[in-house]
Amino acid sequence: MSRVDEICDRMKSSEKSTTSPGTKSDRSLNDREVAILRLLAEGYTSSRIAAELSLSTETIRWYRKKLLLKFDADNAVALVRKASDSGII
């Protein structure tokens, strides 16, 4: 399998949505969003998450903004708390 095929497969698998019981349907998260939430909960910075997931820092910032909107959170601490309270992480 070529490197391009591997990346395409990884991208396809990250599109799978997961919804935690008791959450709003607009809070359905794909695997990538859950991974980013877990790393945020561990205290990782955007730069460190980007390195860990082989993405750009700007891509991680985009995901963080998207997650803040989904959880109606003002900052990363509130985001992690709400995700934890929802049982997602």
Structure confidence at residue 28 (pLDDT): 86
d(CA 28, CA 19): 5
CATH numeric code, 29-89: 1.10.10.10
Q: What is the residue extent of each domain of the chain?
A: 29-89
Per the structure block, which two tokens stand in for 12? 């396809």
72: region left, alpha or beta (phi > 0 left; psi from -120 to 50 alpha): left
Q: Do strands 17-18 and 29-30 pair parallel, antiparallel, or not at all (unpaired)?
A: antiparallel
Structure confidence at residue 21 (pLDDT): 41
d(CA 27, CA 44): 22
pTM as predicted: 0.70
Per-residue pLDDT in tens (0 to 9) along the chain, 89 residues: 655 556 556 555 554 444 444 444 456 899 999 999 999 999 999 999 999 999 999 999 999 999 999 999 999 999 999 999 999 88
